[in-house]
Structure 1
């Protein structure tokens, strides 16, 4: 009886001690965050609300591909870059890779509480110092081999090494340790600037090839010469960059930056105009004053008639109703979706956030490396700018007319149709 009484007393004390102050023994909820907290909008992004999309061809199938059957789908909300990723933004990525390699070789580390080490980003690297260059000599091309008669940084050494947890594969398997689903990647980060020459035979494109990626003149122009793998690596780096900053300041973080799926891209490009062929509506590619509304190949090939011989600024022309620039024209854009002819088959895909994203392996055949690109580019005629038009490129291929932009999903906002309370318009 004493033991039983003691047990009852202990249980009573435990219940009394764990009650929330002021709850009066009622279920009032356990909130692990401040209910008034509003996460910030990612810089350079605008809000694309959830909605109902009628996908597929609403006009002529210009390639007669028969690969976009009309169907109705639901799309979650997300943030999307207002413009294509620019040279300046991508250069931040390649400079980070360069500096991380240099810091590692120079042993610029600080100790963590658990005994591990991390890069000390507070230390500065004087790239002009002769001693520093000697310590980093493996990152340079010697003067006698550069072709210019002076030592030059070797951009092929800019390799981004990263790893991620494959959640999708982990839920398909049971009984395996979580470490079995950690995927490691090494991706060369620097754009292929030679695309301006290799893809245009008998054309004097050497000046733009030598300047496009680094010259301040092209800072706000869309980055090109990046493969699908490089675009995906950029999204991973961007996620880790923001996550590290928010965790360092003990702030909540959720979501990842990523390439949009084909459906997400199409929904965003339409800007709420269900059956319009172009982001601005249509059916014409010029306004009433005769001004072209995008950067493409007008008429029979007067490239400069729209204001741009090659690419133009990423924020040129008018944005669509969601605030997104150049969803058609300027550069075509990588998506996360694997290209298959049956991608729109209503018996094959879900009608809720549909997507086909086959993970590419080294042993995969060439046809499995096809990724959907959307929007058309500066070198395409007007029909290829239509939102519903589908095209593809191989994931390990870089072109002078393909760039990309990112999306960012926060689940609580994504499943609603209202704009987030924090506001996202710019």
Structure 2
């Protein structure tokens, strides 16, 4: 019996060797070939070194940006600030997901499925278990309902279009769900009953990698996984609250949702909401990658303060502004950005408030409005002394304990000093302003390039 067992093992080993494509050589695991793909609406910022900080006079005497030579890796950056139209895509995705979830739960409670029509058309995908794969059935049996609602882990049906016209609602159950989505009759006026935006909440989780690394193996993985849930609709009241004794109601009423402002930068978004947008954008892209059987892309995120300044400089050494400087007026007598010139003549640069995201000339990295229009959130926490201790390689002073987050670039309501690429400013992470927006970045994976990829 022992000889038979040894013979069997030898035979298996022999078969394994004969059938191997490696010929016994160390060739590595053969994965799919990775081809870097430039994300839509982004520009590649090549790796490089620059002098971060104020080499020119510190007019405000804040002494928070001493010069320091640093190096950053390659990354992609949005060529414009995130626009109202782009942020509305996020809001509408959250809205639609909430509606589909409510419809699916109601269908489940009523025991209705696709064959029943009406609200049953929006039942969870696992309502018909005969169509589930072995994997989906296993996940349903072992992981669904493991959460606060009891419906976690169940797939929504995105194949069925939602109906928004009240005259076309399929049944009374659909009416019940949609009615609860809108504000009450008592809160509506002029015959307009709008969606209750406080219901538009985005829930996601992320892992605090830095905290996990510093823990040096202490604690389990779940100790560093953070859960977030927040309202994601922009605070449109900022147009009123930011400026007392000023008439800005048209901006409050129309700026975010009206098509006239679709290509203008979104404002009224807090740092936390900007982070949620980054998470959603990553998920939205990778859901599509998964459907195509393609490899996942890495995360979209807010730029670090050093990345933002490096990109704003556009490769110009010691420039005061993204176009070099030191002047804010071109040789043809036109202003180079949207800000508050001439001691309060807001309209001298042709704009009273914001302008479209692709306005004025881009810098040498083809990035628009890195000075003026709206200030931009960065991922970095604000410490006036951070330049003294941050690393010279990809520097970043990120801290979850510091609620002050760096904003850069100046805005339509700021004087020229705040438009300088080296000027630092901050706002609290849960604050929203009519003059703060953001743009996202994504790390470049692959061979580092000192020049942009061919378009």
Same fold (TM over 0.5): yes
Contact 2:99 2:177 in 1 (8 A): no
Task: Give the TM-score normalised by the residue count of structure 2.
Answer: 0.85
Partner of residue 403, structure 1 = 437
Could you say what secondary structure the match of 1:293 adopts? coil
Partner of residue 365, structure 1 = none
Q: 1:117 aligns with which of 141, 146, 154?
A: 154
Provide closer, same or farther for how the CA distance between residues 106 and 390 of structure 1 changes in structure 2, counting only shifts above 3 A: same
- Higher mean C-alpha deviation, range 146-155 or range 85-94: 146-155
Cα-to-partner distance string for 1:57-90 (whole Å, 9 max, x where unaligned): 0222232111111111110000000000000000
Tell me how far apart the structure 1 counterparts of residues 30 and 317 of structure 2 sit (CA, whole Å).
40
Q: How does 1:261-340 map to 2 (within 5 A)?
A: 261-340=304-383
Provide closer, same or farther for how the CA distance between residues 102 and 64 of structure 1 changes in structure 2, counting only shifts above 3 A: same
Cα-to-partner distance string for 1:380-405 (whole Å, 9 max, x where unaligned): 11111000000000001000000000
Does residue 1:26 correspond to 2:25, yes or no? yes
Q: 2:393 aligns with which of 344, 352, 359?
A: 352
Contact 1:143 1:152 in 2 (8 A): no
Cα-to-partner distance string for 1:207-257 (whole Å, 9 max, x where unaligned): 111000011110000000000000000000000000111011110113100
Partner of residue 100, structure 1 = 97
Q: 1:390 aligns with which of 424, 438, 442?
A: 424
Tell me how far apart the structure 2 counterparts of residues 86 and 203 of structure 1 sit (CA, whole Å).
25
Task: Give the TM-score normalised by the residue count of structure 1.
Answer: 0.90
Tell me how far apart the structure 2 counterparts of residues 320 and 343 of structure 1 sit (CA, whole Å).
27
Partner of residue 412, structure 1 = 446
Cα-to-partner distance string for 1:298-340 (whole Å, 9 max, x where unaligned): 1121111112110000000011111100000000000000000
Provide closer, same or farther for how the CA distance between residues 110 and 283 of structure 1 changes in structure 2, counting only shifts above 3 A: same
Tell me how far apart the structure 1 counterparts of residues 392 and 314 of structure 2 sit (CA, whole Å).
20
Tell me how far apart the structure 1 counterparts of residues 248 and 49 of structure 2 sit (CA, whole Å).
44
Tell me how far apart the structure 1 counterparts of residues 73 and 192 of structure 2 sit (CA, whole Å).
53
Name structure 2 gaps, 5 residues minimum: 105-121, 127-131, 141-152
Partner of residue 364, structure 1 = none
Tell me how far apart the structure 2 counterparts of residues 262 and 145 of structure 1 sit (CA, whole Å).
42
Higher helix share: 2
Partner of residue 206, structure 2 = 164
C-alpha RMSD over aligned residues: 2.1
Contact 1:56 1:69 in 2 (8 A): yes
Name structure 1 gaps, 5 residues minimum: 361-367
Contact 2:36 2:445 in 1 (8 A): no
Could you say what secondary structure the match of 1:163 adopts? strand
Tell me how far apart the structure 2 counterparts of residues 305 and 402 of structure 1 sit (CA, whole Å).
21
Higher relative contact order by CA 8 Å / sep ≥ 6: 1 or 2?
A: 1
Cα-to-partner distance string for 1:27-61 (whole Å, 9 max, x where unaligned): 34432113xx4232211101000000110102222
Tell me how far apart the structure 2 counterparts of residues 91 and 250 of structure 1 sit (CA, whole Å).
28
Partner of residue 186, structure 1 = 229
Provide closer, same or farther for how the CA distance between residues 53 and 7 of structure 1 changes in structure 2, counting only shifts above 3 A: farther
Tell me how far apart the structure 2 counterparts of residues 266 and 275 of structure 1 sit (CA, whole Å).
11
Q: What is the number of residues matched between the two proteins?
A: 408
Give the CA deviation at 1:4. Answer: 11
Q: 1:381 aligns with which of 389, 393, 415?
A: 415
- Higher mean C-alpha deviation, range 138-147 or range 77-86: 138-147
Following TM superposition, the consecutive aligned residue runs of length 4 or more in structure 1 with deviations greater than 6 angstroms are: none
Cα-to-partner distance string for 1:323-366 (whole Å, 9 max, x where unaligned): 10000000000000000011110xx2211101011124xxxxxx
Q: How does 1:96-245 map to 2 (within 5 A)?
A: 96-107=93-104, 108=122, 109-111=124-126, 113=136, 114-115=139-140, 116-129=153-166, 131=172, 132-171=174-213, 172-174=215-217, 176-245=219-288
Partner of residue 252, structure 1 = 295
Cα-to-partner distance string for 1:192-218 (whole Å, 9 max, x where unaligned): 001111111111100111000011110
Provide closer, same or farther for how the CA distance between residues 19 and 28 of structure 1 changes in structure 2, counting only shifts above 3 A: same
Give the CA deviation at 1:154. Answer: 0.9
Provide closer, same or farther for how the CA distance between residues 350 and 16 of structure 1 changes in structure 2, counting only shifts above 3 A: same
Tell me how far apart the structure 1 counterparts of residues 212 and 297 of structure 2 sit (CA, whole Å).
20
Contact 2:49 2:69 in 1 (8 A): yes
Partner of residue 85, structure 2 = 88
Contact 1:105 1:136 in 2 (8 A): no
Provide closer, same or farther for how the CA distance between residues 410 and 289 of structure 1 changes in structure 2, counting only shifts above 3 A: closer
Q: 2:36 aligns with which of 13, 21, 39?
A: 39
Cα-to-partner distance string for 1:278-299 (whole Å, 9 max, x where unaligned): 1111111111110111001111
